[in-house]
């Protein structure tokens, strides 16, 4: 159609596979744990970074004006009047850094049109496409291509002959059964539409069955657009649309619609304005984008419009699609301001929490459509905090609460009173909350089930510290034993909604001081990597982690694992495959050392404790202040980055 997120490891239980899942692969074992073979980077004095747009890369300026724009799920690309193309956002899914400023695509200087699928057509020569490295390459055989559209997984071309071929692993593969095609819509919902030389529209599913808009003839048709299931539009002469299919699409449309988008944000462009509506509503409401728009593109919950040569964007900014120039990550520790003295910090996927010395609970990060700055979110007194990927257990004594994020804000729900004061807590990724009690028992409940009663975890006696990851929970006893919940037995009483929990001791571990699955710290300073397979334990000593204390891991193979050694925070990525692109290891801009090699954070800060999330980490220093680094995709660094914007604003570096 012409238009001018290494895979996560599958969480697993200790009963079914090894807790090595936490470092990326059940079969990887301790070979994934790095050895300390490289010299730690030189210490870099840490300074407070300003809360204005501050980048660790130079913002491109003076790129000129834009004439076309295409928004994709993870990034945006604009065609410039010079024939060049600039892109911004997250160019390779969730594991790549966020570029919040336009970057030129190498090799493109004569583009005449930009298309979905990261491709352009030119005055002469074959079409060109690029991937995340922003280096365009010619696609042989596409000279004189009539159209380019986004296929199911790759760009597809309407060739000069009228046939369609899709680019697969660098080779054009023909689409059988289609000929004499003028234009081709983007693929979606297993459907696509074609406009043929006889001006007939065919909309097909994957099995090539005619589905909607059957054999409709539009004499002045120029292009075809697939909107959603059973709906599409024809672009006609005069740059106006005629839509067909689902009634909720075709009714109440303004006159002279030039473009329309219905996936995520529902917006359209007419002669003089851009209008949008809430999904399910009929009324289109004019949106102020700064003037009449010459082009519009929407995908998901982000839209961009060309207005007087500038690109104005609004909506979801998690991946940096708004191009505001505010850094999407920080590779040096940056202080989180607005906090009282902190006793503990907990990092998770989309937000961060801190427990103050006076017993208050603060949180910041993505909540609904906003990224909140640090704010107190819990009225009760907090002495214990355990944070999982979907919520936290907090409280003091016998009184606990579960805190989770929703569209409306942080939601606090009280948990049933415990029979004895809690001394340790854990929360796994299935919202199973476990509490080690002063009376020596361990009790658990599922926050996701309607029957939220504390259940005794047999075999988990006199536990002093707990750790949970994926759907696994382990604990260290007062005598130094390591115990894990291995599975469940069906409850004899069918009225009980939860299964009976049981624990098993991990053999071969003595004098354990602390556990963070899959690592156990021993009293003599050694660190072991442990697995449980079919109820049998496998242990591996890790000399490179000796004397590393307070180990914390983000829970995925690509996540940082950090600890404190001799007052310094040190980090590595267990399944790292290269350099630290996201800054989650805190080694500073320009660092080229391997992610898999443990090394100190590039800072003179004296760390008292550290916590690791999916793509970021935080430490508490000797002054009881919090410092964070890594990805700020969800605002989890507490810097005030916009993750959603209602008002359209110009992208930095493009325009007059």
- Asked whether the bond before 646 is cis by omega within 30 degrees of 0, the reply is no
Phi, psi of 515 (to 5 degrees): -125, 135
Phi, psi of 8 (to 5 degrees): -60, 145
Exposure on the CB side of residue 113, measured as CA atoms within 13 A? 18
Residue 549 in any domain: the answer is yes
- Residue pair 26/12 in contact (Cβ under 8 Å)? The answer is yes
Which H or E run includes 195? strand 191-196
* β-pairing verdict for 128-129 and 137-138: antiparallel
Whole-angstrom CA distances from 465 to 175, 391, 431, 461, 612 are 59, 19, 18, 11, 18
* The pLDDT of residue 449: 74
E strands, 248-398, in order: 259-261, 266-269, 274-277, 285-287, 295-299, 302-307, 310-316, 329-335, 342-347, 351-356, 361-367, 370-378, 384-387, 392-396
Tokens at 562, concatenated = 């950090």
* β-pairing verdict for 500-505 and 455-458: parallel
Of 203, 166, 159, whose CA–CA distance to 181 is shortest?
159
Residues 6 or more apart whose Cβ sits within 8 Å of residue 494: none
Q: For the chain, what's the residue count?
A: 656
Rg (CA), the chain: 28
Phi, psi of 54 (to 5 degrees): -130, 125
Exposure on the CB side of residue 135, measured as CA atoms within 13 A? 1
Residue 195 in any domain: the answer is no
Residue 277 in any domain: the answer is no
Q: What DSSP line would sit under 47-75, residue for residue?
A: -PPPSS---SSPPP-----EEEEEE-SSE
CATH number, residue 574? 2.130.10.30
Residue 154 in any domain: the answer is no
- Residue 148 CB neighbour total at 10 angstroms: 30
Residue 67 in any domain: the answer is no
Domain boundaries, position 614: 328-642
Tokens at 157, concatenated = 């071309």
- Alpha-carbon gap, residue 324 to 316, rounded angstroms: 12
- The residues that bridge with 243 in the sheet, in sequence order, are 233
Exposure on the CB side of residue 42, measured as CA atoms within 13 A? 3
**Sign for the pseudo-dihedral over CA of 99, 323, 114, 277:** positive
- Number of DSSP helices (H) and strands (E) in the chain, helices first: 1, 57
- Alpha-carbon gap, residue 65 to 650, rounded angstroms: 12
Residue 369 in any domain: the answer is yes
Of 85, 67, 65, whose CA–CA distance to 76 is shortest?
85
* The pLDDT of residue 221: 85
Of 196, 257, 197, 182, whose CA–CA distance to 227 is shortest?
257
Residue 353 in any domain: the answer is yes
* The pLDDT of residue 377: 92
Angle at 263 between CA 260 and CA 265, to 5 degrees: 75
* The pLDDT of residue 14: 41
Q: How does 390-429 read in b/e, with b if 16+ C-beta sit within 10 Å? A: bbbbbbeebbbbbbebeeeebebeebeebeebbbbbbbbb
Tokens at 601, concatenated = 């954070």
* The pLDDT of residue 215: 55
Query: What 3 state SS string does 470-481 have?
Result: CCEEEEEECCCC
Residues 6 or more apart whose Cβ sits within 8 Å of residue 357: 340, 341, 342, 343, 624
* The pLDDT of residue 132: 75
Residue 334 in any domain: the answer is yes
Tokens at 79, concatenated = 């065609």
Of 489, 550, 641, 483, whose CA–CA distance to 14 is shortest?
483
Quote the number of domains for the chain: 1
The whole-number mean pLDDT for each consecutive block of 10 residues of the chain, a chain of 656 residues, reads 32 37 35 31 37 44 90 94 94 73 94 93 93 89 92 88 90 88 82 87 69 65 78 81 72 82 87 88 90 93 95 94 90 95 94 95 86 87 92 95 85 94 95 96 87 89 95 95 74 45 91 97 97 85 97 90 97 83 89 90 95 96 97 91 91 89
- Alpha-carbon gap, residue 362 to 464, rounded angstroms: 25
- Alpha-carbon gap, residue 81 to 638, rounded angstroms: 38
Tokens at 114, concatenated = 């930009």
């Amino acid at each position: 159609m012409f238009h001018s997120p290494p895979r996560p490891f599958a969480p697993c239980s200790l009963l079914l596979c090894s807790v090595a899942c936490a470092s990326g692969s059940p079969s990887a074992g301790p070979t994934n744990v790095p050895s300390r073979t490289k010299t730690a980077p030189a210490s870099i004095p840490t300074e407070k970074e300003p809360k204005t747009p501050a980048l660790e890369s130079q913002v491109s300026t003076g790129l000129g004006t834009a004439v076309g724009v295409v928004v994709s799920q993870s990034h945006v690309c604009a065609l410039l009047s010079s024939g060049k193309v600039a892109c911004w956002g997250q160019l390779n899914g969730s594991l790549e850094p966020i570029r919040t400023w336009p970057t030129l695509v190498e090799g493109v200087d004569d583009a005449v049109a930009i298309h979905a699928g990261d491709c352009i057509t030119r005055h002469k020569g074959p079409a060109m496409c690029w991937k995340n490295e922003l280096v365009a390459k010619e696609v042989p055989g596409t000279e004189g291509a009539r159209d380019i559209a986004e296929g199911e997984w790759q760009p597809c071309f309407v060739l000069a002959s009228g046939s369609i071929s899709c680019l697969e692993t660098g080779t054009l593969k023909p689409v059988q059964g289609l000929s004499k095609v003028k234009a081709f819509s983007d693929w979606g919902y297993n459907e696509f539409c074609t406009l043929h030389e006889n001006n007939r529209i065919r909309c097909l599913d994957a099995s090539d069955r005619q589905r909607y808009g059957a054999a409709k003839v539009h004499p002045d048709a120029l292009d075809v657009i697939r909107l959603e299931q059973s709906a599409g539009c024809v672009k006609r002469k005069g740059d106006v649309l005629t839509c067909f299919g689902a009634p909720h699409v075709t009714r109440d449309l303004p006159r002279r619609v030039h473009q329309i988008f219905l996936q995520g944000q529902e917006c359209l462009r007419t002669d003089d304005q851009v209008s949008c509506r809430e999904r399910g509503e009929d009324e289109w409401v004019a949106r102020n984008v700064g003037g009449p728009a010459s082009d519009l593109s929407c995908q998901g919950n982000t839209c961009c419009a060309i207005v007087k040569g500038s690109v104005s964007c609004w909506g979801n900014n998690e991946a940096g699609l708004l191009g505001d120039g505010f850094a999407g990550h920080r590779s040096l520790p940056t202080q989180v301001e607005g906090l009282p003295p902190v006793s503990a910090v907990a990092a998770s996927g989309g937000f961060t929490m801190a427990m103050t010395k006076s017993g208050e609970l603060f949180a910041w990060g993505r909540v609904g459509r906003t990224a909140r700055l640090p704010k107190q979110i819990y009225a009760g007194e907090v002495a214990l905090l355990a944070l999982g990927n979907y919520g936290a257990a907090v409280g003091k004594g016998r009184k606990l609460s579960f805190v989770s994020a929703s569209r409306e804000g942080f939601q606090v729900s009280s948990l049933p009173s415990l029979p004895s004061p809690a001394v340790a807590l854990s929360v796994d990724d299935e919202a199973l909350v476990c509490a080690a009690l002063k009376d020596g028992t361990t009790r658990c409940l599922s926050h996701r089930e309607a029957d939220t009663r504390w259940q005794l975890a047999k075999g988990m006696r006199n536990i002093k510290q707990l750790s949970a990851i994926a759907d696994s929970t382990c604990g260290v006893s007062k005598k130094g034993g390591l115990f894990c919940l291995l599975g469940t037995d069906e409850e004899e009483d069918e009225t009980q909604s939860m299964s009976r929990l049981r624990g098993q001791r991990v053999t071969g571990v003595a004098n354990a001081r602390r556990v963070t699955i899959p690592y156990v710290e021993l009293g003599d300073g050694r660190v072991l990597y442990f697995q449980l397979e079919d109820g049998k334990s496998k242990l591996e000593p890790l000399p490179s982690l000796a004397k590393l204390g307070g180990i914390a891991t983000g829970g995925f193979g690509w996540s940082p694992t950090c600890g404190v050694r001799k007052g310094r925070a040190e980090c590595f990525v267990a399944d790292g495959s290269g350099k630290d692109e996201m800054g989650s290891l805190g080694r500073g801009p320009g660092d080229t050392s391997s992610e898999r090699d443990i090394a100190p954070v590039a800072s003179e800060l004296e760390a008292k404790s550290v916590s690791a999330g999916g793509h970021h980490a935080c430490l508490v220093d000797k002054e009881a202040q919090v410092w964070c680094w890594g990805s700020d995709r969800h605002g989890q660094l507490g810097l005030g980055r916009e993750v959603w914007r209602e008002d359209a604003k110009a992208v930095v570096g493009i325009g007059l």
